[in-house]
A and B are shown apart, each in its own frame.
Chain A
Amino acid sequence: MADYTTGKRIRDRRLAQEMTQAELAKRAGISAAYLNLIEHDKRQIGGSLLGKIADLLRTDLADLTGSVRQRLASDVLEIARALGTPDVDGIRAAQFADRHPEWARIFIRLHRAYRDADETAIALSDRLSQDPTVRELSHTVLSRVTAIRSFAEILQQHGDIGHSDRERFTTIITDQSDELAESAREMITLLGGSLGDARPTSPAEEVDDFFIHHGNHFPSLEDAAGELRARFERQPGTLGSQIAERLAALSETANRHEPAPPAHMPETTVRFAQARRLVVADLPDVLKSVIDDDRLTTDAARERALRAVASYAAAALLFPYERFLETAEQARYDIDRIGAIFAGSFEQVAHRLVTLRRPGAEGVPFAFLRSDAAGNLSKPLSISGLRMPRYGGSCPLWAVHAAFAVTDRPIVQLAVMPEGERYLFIARNVKKRMAAYGEPPVTFSVMLACDVAYSDRIVYGDGFTAARTSLETPVGHNCRSCRRVDCGQRAYAPVMLAGADAQGTVAG
């Protein structure tokens, strides 16, 4: 995959559309000779020219830069490891994704379908073993079958039975068959509730895919939110008061789809929710055009995506791109400090930092991950080289898990992968809403991760610039793919190593 460069991709896409070099070069506003150099990797290409060529070739930047294939390869590898397939390594996964991207997508879809089916089977199994109604129905079915079989055998094996007995036994078989069919129907009705919700893929995963495909950056939302903010800024009053005024002026109908947040929410949450209500009401066409994407295959996925892009637009409204990036750079990406300046929560600011991917005006590339206390992961966004887990759990040593034990500040970790790559992990425990007495608190841990090469640009890198191994935490991606056989936190044996030694340190 390393040899399949951006230049070669441009050439392949151009030839596929039967376009000459001269034709494409003319439309892109460059010379044919320069395009020739680009296609043969003699010149680097990026920024607006690459975007223009992507448009002319009716594709997107990610396709030309190869990040789509990298993601596919990463997903294929992760699934292969989750399935315990030791023969598939990174190179093979990359070759597969590069040569057969459509098959790789089908493979990923099939895995999701398999996983959904597996989860459904477990749920049904639990239900069958624990639900008294199901137990009773199963017993009834078995009793009917027993009676039918027994009388059928009697009729077959006892030729001398009298006419009246024969008639009676035949009637019993008929009646019991009818009752058996009725019991089976009851069983189907009972289990139908569980089966009806089963889908081949989960909406959450479709939305994750959708965001990853767009590199978590949506220029049309940035532009629309920017125009909306500019309109507010021309009016007197603060942005907050402008938003509140506009919401009050909106009709009840316009507000209906995005209910107001409960009063006990933190101020940052209320403000964000107001901004989201506003963009839902004022930018419906932009939001809908963004989610008009064939990666979103179900109504549930489209609804979920709509909520997510509304949140994106709300963040773009509250945290305008240029100003936010400038502030982030000045504050050296101190999330709490940026949050204080823009009145945003840790999670809101962290999430916005990940979206700073505008070509030519990019911030530090961050990966993002959120976990609940049980280790259920959500909102995974990867960066080049660091894959955020989507299938199965992450390494238990990651800061995203340790952050639950520290409530008042972010924790920082210099994480070293088994292959030697080093990343800064910044994680913080966040409370989603204040709990009333007796109500369980909703808490998550939010983590940003970046290559250690950026540590001098971010405040969390202070103290980690010296190359001291005592500061490092040896981690992996997850137990299945990790080669650290001596890890005390190991939950599963690694698939890449065979033998008793590799199996022997599984934590009880």
Chain B
Amino acid sequence: MARSVLIAEDEPYILESLMFLMSRAGYRVRAERDGAKAVAAAVHSQPDLMILDIMMPTLNGFEALKQLRATPGLEALRILVLSAKGQEADRRRMMALGADSFVTKPFSNKDLLATVETLIAEPRAKPANAASDTS
């Protein structure tokens, strides 16, 4: 059965390009444009990987990340964060909150796909925990 990817991104054209890329790569794709709905969709559909944008309405990426990592049953979920901020401090903050990888906008499609494939190929090594925001 094909692996599944949940995309949480509020920008419609970025979302459309990500959906195209993931579908073409053979993943089952589901998308949400709102942080709170994305968390609910993750609980409901149990995807293998989630692409999570930080700047989103209702619930931003930081809060969504915290909630996802505090939710029982989502321990295996790989989370790839998309961020407009490229500083090392932002990366450390995302990783401390439980992100598995971090990609900066504007991204290279090839690099993004390679990161998704790498994450999905291996079971999630880190134990899921409700990491606190230490930044």
Interface residues on chain B, number (Cβ under 8 Å): 17
Chain A 120-149 per-residue mask, 1 if CB under 8 angstroms from chain B, else 0: 000000000000000000110011011111
Residue in A146, A148, A153, A176 with the greatest tally of chain B CB atoms within 10 Å? A146
B56 → chain A closest CB, angstroms: 11
A residues near B107, Cβ cutoff 8 Å: 146, 149-150
Say whether B21 faces chain A, with CB atoms less than 8 Å apart. Answer: yes
Cβ of A147 and Cβ of B24 under 8 Å apart? no
Q: Do A139 and B55 form a contact, CB below 8 Å, given A147-B17, A150-B14, A154-B17?
A: yes
Say whether A343 faces chain B, with CB atoms less than 8 Å apart. Answer: no
Say whether B16 faces chain A, with CB atoms less than 8 Å apart. Answer: yes
Cβ of B109 and Cβ of A146 under 8 Å apart? no
Say whether A163 faces chain B, with CB atoms less than 8 Å apart. Answer: no
B residues near A142, Cβ cutoff 8 Å: 84, 105-106
Cβ of B105 and Cβ of A146 under 8 Å apart? yes
Main secondary structure of the interface of A (DSSP, over half): helix
Cβ of A153 and Cβ of B105 under 8 Å apart? no
B residues near A149, Cβ cutoff 8 Å: 106-108
Cβ of A150 and Cβ of B55 under 8 Å apart? no
Cβ of B20 and Cβ of A146 under 8 Å apart? no
Chain A 341-354 per-residue mask, 1 if CB under 8 angstroms from chain B, else 0: 00000000000000
Say whether A234 faces chain B, with CB atoms less than 8 Å apart. Answer: no
B110 → chain A closest CB, angstroms: 7
Q: How far is the CA of A506 from the CA of B107 in the complex (A)?
A: 45
Chain B 76-103 per-residue mask, 1 if CB under 8 angstroms from chain A, else 0: 0000000010000000000000000000
Q: How far is the CA of A143 from the CA of B107 in the complex (A)?
A: 11
Say whether A17 faces chain B, with CB atoms less than 8 Å apart. Answer: no
Interface residues on A, range: 10 to 19
Q: How far is the CA of A147 from the CA of B13 in the complex (A)?
A: 6
Q: Tell me which of A143, A153, A176 contacts B109 (CB under 8 A).
A: A153
Q: Tell me which of B11, B17, B24 contacts A151 (CB under 8 A).
A: B17
Q: Tell me which of A138, A150, A165 contacts B106 (CB under 8 A).
A: A150
A354 → chain B closest CB, angstroms: 52
**Chain A residue, CB-CB nearest to B24:** A158
Cβ of B13 and Cβ of A151 under 8 Å apart? yes
A residues near B105, Cβ cutoff 8 Å: 142-143, 145-146
Q: How far is the CA of A143 from the CA of B16 in the complex (A)?
A: 13
Q: How far is the CA of A477 from the CA of B44 in the complex (A)?
A: 71
Q: Do A176 and B106 form a contact, CB below 8 Å, given A139-B55, A158-B24?
A: no
B residues near A148, Cβ cutoff 8 Å: 106
Q: How far is the CA of A19 from the CA of B55 in the complex (A)?
A: 77
Q: Tell me which of B13, B24, B106 contacts A172 (CB under 8 A).
A: B13
Chain B 53-90 per-residue mask, 1 if CB under 8 angstroms from chain A, else 0: 00100000000000000000000000000001000000
B residues near A48, Cβ cutoff 8 Å: none
Cβ of B55 and Cβ of A154 under 8 Å apart? no
B-contacting residues of A (Cβ < 8 Å)?
A: 138-139, 142-143, 145-151, 153-154, 157-158, 165, 172, 176
In the complex, the 9 A-B pairs of residues with the closest C-beta atoms, listed nearest first: A147-B13, A150-B17, A146-B106, A146-B105, A153-B109, A149-B106, A143-B11, A145-B106, A142-B84
A-B contact pairs, 16 of them (CB 8 A): A138-B84, A142-B105, A142-B106, A143-B14, A146-B106, A147-B13, A148-B106, A150-B21, A150-B106, A150-B107, A153-B109, A153-B110, A154-B17, A154-B20, A158-B24, A165-B20
